[in-house]
Structure 1
Amino acid sequence: MLRRLSRGNGENHMRRVLGVTASAVLVATALSGCGNPPGTDGDLTDDWRPVAEARQFAPRAGECHVNAEPTAYLTSHQPVDCAKAHLVETFHIGTFTGDLAARPIPPRVGSAAMRSAFTECDAKAKEFVGGDWRDGRLTVQVAPTSPAGWAGGSRWYRCDLFELNPLDDTGDAAVNRAGSLRGALRASTPLRHGCAEAGEWGHLLTVPCTKVHRYEYVGVWMAPNASYEDATKDEDAVHTKCRSVIARYAKVPVDRMLRYRTGSTYRFPSEEAWARGDRGVRCWYWSSGKKLTRSIAGGGTKALPVN
């Protein structure tokens, strides 16, 4: 959700709700009066090759999928070439260990028990895309093995990455895309948050910073663990945190005059992403007055004068 606060004392809050091992049973029937055929010893099993041990299904990093389901079932595992249309990309395979691995069933998607797996996926995603994935229209999910796979001994989980819709500020649906996200944030790209202008219905649409705009993405504030309802209810506190992020970005003092230098807009992760473990609140600078044609990055008090 995007919420906006103007500089100074005037406040304008904006909300939008936008294979199988078969057990062979041999029934030996003694046929009276029948001898063994030539060249046989009467034991029908001693010459059989041992049946191979059943192999557990496991996905691989580098696979892309047309199914964005956050639980990985064998029946829905139909990976495609990442150069073709897909919804999610698996960039890492992790393993549940310790007490989590000893559970009789896999951790529930979105539960607190999945947070350690999300933390690992978070770190691996930053390496994979070449920066903080929260700085772009991206999100991360953990996809554990299915209950049947868990019962069979599998303890893996997929770390998946997918692109979000630029016209849905609160949504969590994966966008159909073609091409891997490897290194996607190492250079300037439409996926990366940057300068923006409000489009139809108030959605923030990325534009070049040399074009007229009122908004600029400045970074992320990591919220503490809390319920989604509790985390989102104190808008003034979130704006204060985002103003500090703006100050670091523009290189101005964090003091009592900061609120008179900048307006702010922010977006919380979706409720689904929050449940997965994403605590990153995305912050934007907002000019409630004149429109800009350049970035405020490192601009100091000249870029953000007191008004």
Structure 2
Amino acid sequence: MRYTVLAAAAAVVLLAGCAGSDDLDGNGGRPPSASSSPVEALPAVGACLTSGGNIAYADKADPATKSVSCDTPHKLEVVSTGRFPDSGQVPGWGSDALRAVYGECGKAATAYLGADWHGGWLFLHIGRPAGADWAGGARGYVCSIAEFERTDSSAPALERTGTLRGDLAPGGPGKVAQHCATLIAQDPDAQGFYDGASQRRSDCAALHDAEYAGSVEQPAGVFPAWESQQAFARDKCDALVAGLLGLTPQALTKRHDVRSLLTYLDDQSEWQAGERSNLCYATVSQSHKVRASIKDLRSGPLPY
């Protein structure tokens, strides 16, 4: 789960729970018989999957999925498939096998989208065999991307139509690209800024108080406390926000109407699964929300 914590500027993938799939075995999700080996008909890269179950970061269940035309409503789009190494049980959060797959899934998603997947309103979903299928020999996994509209852990995958292939590439459609957002929080500080929030997608022409600036990847290792995350990422986040505004980090410190907001990786299981990126947002005070992008604002006044 991600929350955001203020990093001084003057500062889900998200990972979904695992899901079984009708495409992960040859028995429509039914356990294979003890005398037969499962036929793993994995979907092709670019295939779209739908589900009647809830696919979300916090969802630890295994909703069944099925392949559908990408022109019809769906929740997942496949970016890679593969096989787990043999082991006694389905790889769980924190396992070396799942971390390796999550890393490869992220690389595949970035290649499929044309730019870092963290720059979209997206999270990664890794579909694994059900326990009974694993016992019967199934080892296939399916890495997919899912779209969401807010960054808290309960945000479900949205139903959508069409493909996201190349969506984040330079000159691409950018249908799921992160731009403007509304912060979800309570009790701003005396200057009207939040020191902790999640984000909800917003049209830049609508009243909003945040804009995505980029992401910072923490180094691999043991799960870092917030202080360690902040020490590593704060200056990098400030630089990203300054770059969004067309300023140097030093010039950003002279603006008191824009601050950087750094998301905090507070879910150790998310870290164990392989997610290490903090997201950075430029934010404005609740007393002066804006109805336009502040990209390349430089030293100019905030728009109204």
TM-score (norm 2): 0.66
Q: Could you tell me how far 1:71 is from its partner in structure 2? A: 7.8
Asked if 2 retains the 8 angstrom alpha-carbon contact of 1:109 and 1:143, the reply is no
Distance 2:34 2:219 in 1: 51
Alignment of 1:139-288 (within 5 A): 139-166=123-150, 169-183=151-165, 184-185=167-168, 186-189=172-175, 191-198=176-183, 204-209=199-204, 213-226=208-221, 228=223, 230-234=224-228, 236-237=230-231, 238-255=233-250, 258-261=252-255, 262-268=258-264, 271=267, 273-288=270-285
Alignment of 1:1-307 (within 5 A): 1-5=3-7, 7-8=9-10, 54-61=37-44, 62-66=47-51, 67=53, 68=55, 76-96=64-84, 101-166=85-150, 169-183=151-165, 184-185=167-168, 186-189=172-175, 191-198=176-183, 204-209=199-204, 213-226=208-221, 228=223, 230-234=224-228, 236-237=230-231, 238-255=233-250, 258-261=252-255, 262-268=258-264, 271=267, 273-288=270-285, 294-300=292-298, 302-303=299-300
Asked if 2 retains the 8 angstrom alpha-carbon contact of 1:7 and 1:259, the reply is yes
1:121-177 deviations in whole A, cap 9, x for unaligned? Answer: 1011123233222112210022222333333333321102222242xx321542341
Distance 1:232 1:55 in 2: 44
The one-letter code matched in structure 2 to 1:88 is L
1:82-132 deviations in whole A, cap 9, x for unaligned? Answer: 444444333321223xxxx24233321443431111111101112323322
Distance 1:151 1:212 in 2: 53
The 1:180/1:280 distance shift into structure 2, 3 A limit, reads farther
The 1:294/1:233 distance shift into structure 2, 3 A limit, reads same
The 1:188/1:105 distance shift into structure 2, 3 A limit, reads closer
Q: Could you tell me how far 1:251 is from its partner in structure 2? A: 4.1
Q: Could you tell me how far 1:2 is from its partner in structure 2? A: 2.0
Asked if 2 retains the 8 angstrom alpha-carbon contact of 1:2 and 1:268, the reply is yes
The one-letter code matched in structure 1 to 2:253 is R
Asked if 1 retains the 8 angstrom alpha-carbon contact of 2:182 and 2:209, the reply is yes
Distance 1:147 1:128 in 2: 30
| Paired positions, count | 255
Asked if 1 retains the 8 angstrom alpha-carbon contact of 2:43 and 2:67, the reply is no
**1:239 counterpart SS class:** helix
- The structure whose Rg is larger is 1
Distance 1:165 1:273 in 2: 19
Distance 2:230 2:266 in 1: 19
Q: Could you tell me how far 1:285 is from its partner in structure 2? A: 1.2
The 1:130/1:303 distance shift into structure 2, 3 A limit, reads farther
The 1:210/1:82 distance shift into structure 2, 3 A limit, reads closer
The one-letter code matched in structure 2 to 1:195 is C
The 1:239/1:269 distance shift into structure 2, 3 A limit, reads same
Query: 5+ unaligned residues in a row in structure 2: which ranges?
Result: 12-26, 187-196
Asked if 1 retains the 8 angstrom alpha-carbon contact of 2:99 and 2:272, the reply is no
